């Protein structure tokens, strides 16, 4: 069954505003200003447009890919660019620690090298080196020279006017337009467009249009920039004399039998004289030997538009027997077909991959988008998040168009896709656990390659078991034939390396792969493929897990030793909570699948699964991360709560885990964690709307202007984020925001979201939520459910349900309307504002979402901060105010009511004018109910925040607005310290009111 929810937004973004624009004439277009100044979203056409130019910064560059080719493009145009260091930092992150710059590559183009600059286990290099993604020459550049000035990535911004750049998401086309005044003289209207063909994946196109206000001589350079070919070796290059073509060839370093070829053919309209074409001397563009360029001179005539196009063809011998011929043909046929024809077939293919029904819609039934800024952003990322990941996949149509080339779609998705070498382009659990689930349910064809990559590496995974001698699991005879173990990181070979150990590290990668296999079968219904290809690997992982466990004679249970869970702050521990639960789940599921497909059941696996116990603390009512965990823990990323998210695991500790580990999350962790908290909160919370707060936390602090690409970190400056050079664009985080868990249907839409029409989802190959059925049925669909109803489980709700010819209506669980504190008039109100800036992710909404695990925190303790809630009529007699300050109480606070918003009072002002405000309660000195005791730091205790509860002497009538004013920070009084935390604020009404006829009015 499918549990399609990871939904949560907030309506209090102070800088965003909602604006509807109209095109000239009668055509209306729904276009909105985003919270990023100068960035707009056209929702009718899925256009994201920025009018702000930021050069030399990776956050402002966009990556394009078609699943086979990938490239990163400069902010000013389709150029190669090196980052301008910020705070003396221009370094990419672990494990390469190389220079940040634009990148281009081919799927599977991995090298072999002795080691990387960073590693998990450097001593493993004695057994072999690393395999990292290698670059190819940056092929998109069409550089212009005029009046002695150069238009490239570092063009003088003072020479540019009217800058605009647009990503057409539906067409996967990136464009730029502006007026260039070269050398401060004359005007040239510049228009660039780039796309990587989604159907014919060896092809890409760059178009340049130039229009001048007066006659002018210019030179256009077609550049293949070799400085982008990092970790590659020069093979060959050429300047063709019979066609306007240049080409370059490189090999991944250390790999002698693989070569990638990059061809570029120039074409122009009647304004372009190709007879002026010339070979540009080496050294003009790039220092790398693989650089090559050709030029053409243009005599621009005022008012006429010159069009220069370059048609790219790229192929490597990883996927093609004759890569040079394939690349050459792709370039020449592209030029022959022309821009318009290629663009048309490219858009057609994208329309089959990302139609409107494949993404979530927040539009109301009347066709309007709610006037709530954060729902606008939710609408934007509902499109952009899947798009950015889908760019890096190859569909069945593209495979067929390449002659049913079975080598095209066997590569998984790197952490930052094919337009970045972040994390060395290696494959992690990110693909299986974070990127895949949200796409598996809506785009099963796209996620096939994530599964196929592990199938390709299966033989090596079997061989990897023989490396146990170099680990703590080196007992003779412990592992027998039949098992398979995958490394933590994987490139060309899938072997155990210094960055990707197979033993004494993150064993959960193997269970993650098993989950992905099962999920792919659940959505596709392809039982034949699962039985033939995936079930044997799933069983081999079970075989390995069963032998990895160690029997503890004293306890009588099987335990996992010397492992690292998803929380990488806790390395090499025993009885890691999530991995232990995952192993138990995998063993049980393996037997269930074998039984389902008529294969033998392994009784030993069942026995060992029965004798597994998770580490728990009964007093705190939580599952521990590992046996010896103490209360001082700081958690890097989602860990224990993944048990409730990913596994079919009955746990009495779910709520305790959610609250406890929310308080332990490091602010320096990666940006996919809070999507998990949102899913789990939505699933298990009995009241409130914290899932809404968590999902907001898992998205907005990580989204970067202008393209809504995610960064790995909340803060991109490594000096303040724990020393991390963030991965970018972080597809893992985008997947975390987009993902849904393959669990069950049990919806609870937060009250802040008026309406949600969910994306089309698949189960056993049958489309759910869309008719007619024949248009939403996969070729692999389980035919049983073509004639029989689909069984449906509604979470923990009793009864059996089915989906057949008639719609199944599932009632929304309105947990947001269930009071956590009885009579609280503030819970989950939709209009909440903060008078001050607040810490990223610590949203005002969190203070009234019915959960103490989320919080609001102003950015500065030196500034008085006011939280205002639009309560609205009716008005209530208030008897009590409850405040949970979390871990950081203020020095002073006040609660007051008013009938106007936007107030900016100090505590001393509150009693001055009773006509303006009604003071409810205040204190100049907040008492601590949970003072910090150093000797308790290591004690595991249930989460309890500092609380201030006031029962009023006499009821006070509420106003339209409730305000909470806080001053100071009792834990840190320095000027630079953040403000106090407010985990939950409740204003409790007195009993029920009756109207004049004696009927209750609330």
- Catalytic residue IDs: 568
Per DSSP, the three-state class of 899 is coil
Question: Whole-angstrom Cα distance, residue 678 to residue 698?
Answer: 8
| 45 exposure class (CB count in 10 Å sphere: 0-12, 13-18, 19+) | middle
Number of Cβ atoms within 10 Å of the Cβ of 935: 6
| 134 exposure class (CB count in 10 Å sphere: 0-12, 13-18, 19+) | buried
Number of Cβ atoms within 10 Å of the Cβ of 259: 20
Backbone angles phi, psi at 548, to 5 degrees: -70, -35
| 997 exposure class (CB count in 10 Å sphere: 0-12, 13-18, 19+) | exposed
656: left (phi over 0), alpha (psi -120 to 50) or beta: alpha
Which residue is it, tokens 């100049």? 924
Q: What angle do CA 314, 318, 319 make, to 5 degrees?
A: 70
Question: Whole-angstrom Cα distance, residue 134 to residue 221?
Answer: 25
Q: How many CA atoms lie within 13 A of 970 on its CB side?
A: 22
How are beta strands 892-898 and 790-792 bridged, if at all? Answer: unpaired
Task: Kindly list the strands in the beta sheet with 138-146, ordered across the sheet, starting from the edge strand earlier in the chain.
Answer: 149-151, 138-146, 216-225, 292-300, 278-279
Per the structure block, which two tokens stand in for 923? Answer: 């204190």
**Cα 621 to chain centroid, rounded:** 31
Question: Whole-angstrom Cα distance, residue 707 to residue 172?
Answer: 13
Which letter, b or e, does each residue of 113-127 get, where b requires 16 or more Cβ atoms within 10 Å of its Cβ?
A: bebbeebbbeebbee
Q: Which residues contact 182 (CB under 8 A, 6 or more apart)?
A: 144, 145, 146, 147, 148, 149, 151, 159, 188, 218
Q: What angle do CA 916, 917, 919 make, to 5 degrees?
A: 155
Which residue is it, tokens 């003071």? 919
Backbone angles phi, psi at 710, to 5 degrees: -95, 145
Q: Locate all alpha helices (DSSP H) within 296-443, ordered by sequence.
A: 323-337, 339-353, 373-390, 396-401, 429, 436-440
CA-based torsion, 532, 535, 540, 541: positive or negative: positive
324: left (phi over 0), alpha (psi -120 to 50) or beta: alpha
Residue 515 parent element (H or E)? helix 508-524
DSSP 939: -
Which letter, b or e, does each residue of 305-315 get, where b requires 16 or more Cβ atoms within 10 Å of its Cβ?
A: ebbbbbbbbbb
Of residues 93, 97, 80, 84, the one with CA closest to residue 227:
80
On whether the CB atoms of residues 171 and 350 are closer than 8 A, the answer is: yes
DSSP 430: I
**DSSP string for 194-205:** EEE-SSSTTEEE
């Amino acid at each position: 069954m499918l549990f399609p929810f990871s939904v949560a937004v907030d309506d209090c973004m102070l800088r965003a505003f909602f604006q509807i624009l109209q095109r000239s004439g009668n055509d209306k277009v729904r276009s909105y200003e985003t919270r990023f100044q100068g960035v707009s979203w056209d929702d009718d056409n899925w256009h994201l447009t920025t009018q702000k130019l930021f050069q030399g910064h990776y956050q402002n560059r966009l990556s394009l890919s078609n699943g086979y080719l990938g490239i990163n493009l400069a902010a000013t145009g389709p150029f190669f660019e090196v980052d301008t260091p910020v705070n003396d930092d221009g370094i990419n992150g672990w494990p390469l620690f190389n220079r940040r710059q634009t990148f281009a590559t081919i799927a599977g183009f991995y090298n072999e090298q002795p080691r990387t600059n960073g590693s998990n286990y450097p001593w493993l290099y004695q057994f072999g080196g690393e395999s990292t993604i290698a670059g190819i020459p940056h092929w998109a550049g069409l550089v212009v020279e005029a009046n002695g000035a150069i238009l490239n990535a570092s063009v003088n911004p003072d020479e540019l006017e009217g800058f605009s750049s647009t990503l057409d998401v539906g067409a996967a086309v990136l464009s730029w337009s502006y007026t260039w005044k070269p050398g401060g003289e004359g005007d040239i209207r510049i228009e660039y467009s780039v796309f990587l063909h989604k159907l014919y994946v060896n092809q890409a196109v760059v178009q340049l249009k130039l229009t001048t206000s007066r006659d002018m001589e210019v030179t256009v350079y077609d550049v293949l920039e070799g400085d982008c070919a990092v970790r590659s070796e020069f093979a060959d290059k050429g300047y063709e004399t019979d066609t306007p073509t240049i080409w370059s060839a490189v090999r991944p370093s250390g790999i002698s039998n693989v070569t990638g070829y990059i061809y570029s053919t120039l074409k122009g309209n009647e304004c372009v004289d190709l007879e002026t074409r010339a070979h540009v001397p080496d050294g003009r563009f790039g220092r790398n030997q693989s650089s090559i360029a050709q030029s053409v001179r243009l005599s621009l005539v005022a008012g006429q538009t010159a069009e220069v196009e370059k048609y790219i063809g790229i192929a490597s011998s990883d996927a093609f027997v004759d890569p040079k011929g394939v690349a050459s043909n792709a370039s020449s046929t592209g030029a022959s077909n022309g821009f318009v024809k290629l663009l048309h077939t490219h858009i057609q293919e994208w329309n089959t991959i990302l139609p409107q029904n494949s993404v979530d819609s927040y539009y109301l039934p009347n066709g309007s988008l709610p006037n709530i800024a954060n729902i606008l952003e939710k609408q934007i990322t509902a499109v952009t998040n899947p798009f950015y990941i889908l760019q890096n996949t190859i569909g069945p149509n593209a495979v067929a168009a390449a002659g049913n080339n079975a080598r095209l779609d066997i590569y998984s998705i790197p952490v930052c896709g094919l337009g970045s070498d972040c994390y060395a382009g290696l494959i992690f659990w990110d693909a299986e656990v974070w990127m895949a689930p949200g796409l598996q349910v809506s785009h099963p064809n796209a996620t096939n390659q994530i599964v196929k990559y592990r199938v390709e590496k299966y033989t090596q995974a079997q061989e990897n078991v023989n490396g146990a001698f170099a680990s703590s699991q080196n007992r003779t005879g412990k592992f027998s034939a039949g098992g398979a173990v995958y490394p933590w990181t994987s490139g060309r070979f899938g072997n155990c390396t210094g960055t990707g150990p197979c033993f004494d590290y993150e064993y959960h990668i193997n269970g993650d792969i098993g989950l992905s296999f099962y999920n792919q079968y659940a959505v596709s219904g392809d039982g034949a493929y699962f039985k033939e290809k995936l079930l044997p690997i799933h069983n081999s992982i079970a075989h390995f897990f069963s032998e990895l466990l160690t029997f503890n004679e004293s306890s009588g249970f099987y335990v996992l030793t010397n492992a690292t869970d998803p929380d990488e702050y806790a390395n090499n521990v025993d009885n890691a909570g999530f991995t232990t639960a995952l192993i138990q789940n995998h063993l049980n599921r393996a037997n269930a699948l074998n039984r389902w497909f008529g294969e033998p059941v392994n009784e030993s696996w069942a026995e060992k699964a029965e004798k597994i116990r998770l580490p728990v603390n009964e007093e705190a009512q939580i599952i521990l991360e590992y046996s010896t965990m103490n209360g001082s823990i700081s958690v890097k990323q989602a860990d224990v709560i993944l048990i409730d998210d990913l596994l079919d695991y009955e746990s009495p500790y779910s709520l305790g885990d959610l609250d406890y580990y929310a308080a332990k999350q490091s602010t320096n962790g990666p940006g996919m964690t809070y999507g998990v908290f949102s899913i789990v909160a939505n699933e298990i919370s009995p009241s409130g709307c914290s899932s809404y707060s968590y999902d907001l936390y898992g998205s907005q602090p990580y989204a970067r202007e202008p393209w809504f690409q995610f960064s790995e970190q909340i803060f991109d400056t490594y000096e303040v984020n724990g020393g991390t050079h963030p991965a970018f664009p972080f597809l893992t985080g985008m997947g975390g925001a987009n993902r849904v868990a393959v669990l069950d249907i049990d919806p609870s839409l937060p009250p802040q979201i008026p309406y949600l029409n969910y994306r089309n989802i698949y189960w056993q190959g049958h489309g759910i939520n869309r008719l007619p059925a024949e248009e939403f049925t996969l070729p692999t669909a389980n035919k049983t459910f073509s004639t029989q109803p689909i069984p449906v489980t509604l979470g923990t709700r009793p009864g059996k349900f089915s989906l057949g010819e008639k719609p199944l209506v599932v009632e929304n669980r309105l947990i947001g309307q269930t009071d956590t504190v009885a009579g609280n008039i503030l819970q989950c109100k939709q209009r909440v504002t903060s008078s001050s800036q607040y810490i990223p992710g610590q949203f005002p909404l969190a203070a009234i979402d019915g959960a103490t695990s989320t919080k609001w925190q102003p950015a500065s303790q030196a500034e008085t901060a006011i939280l205002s809630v639009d309560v609205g009529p009716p008005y209530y007699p208030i008897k009590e105010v409850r405040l949970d300050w979390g871990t950081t109480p203020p020095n002073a606070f006040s609660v007051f009511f008013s009938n106007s918003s936007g107030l900016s009072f100090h505590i001393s002002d509150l009693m001055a004018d009773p006509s303006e405000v009604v003071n409810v309660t205040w204190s100049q000195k907040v008492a601590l109910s949970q003072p910090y005791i150093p000797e308790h730091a290591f004690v595991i205790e249930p989460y309890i925040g500092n609380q201030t509860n006031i029962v009023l002497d006499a009821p006070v009538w509420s106003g339209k607005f409730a305000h909470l004013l806080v001053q100071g920070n009792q834990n840190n009084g320095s000027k630079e310290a953040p403000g106090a935390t407010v985990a939950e604020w409740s204003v409790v009404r007195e009993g029920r009111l009756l109207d004049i006829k004696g009927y209750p009015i609330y």
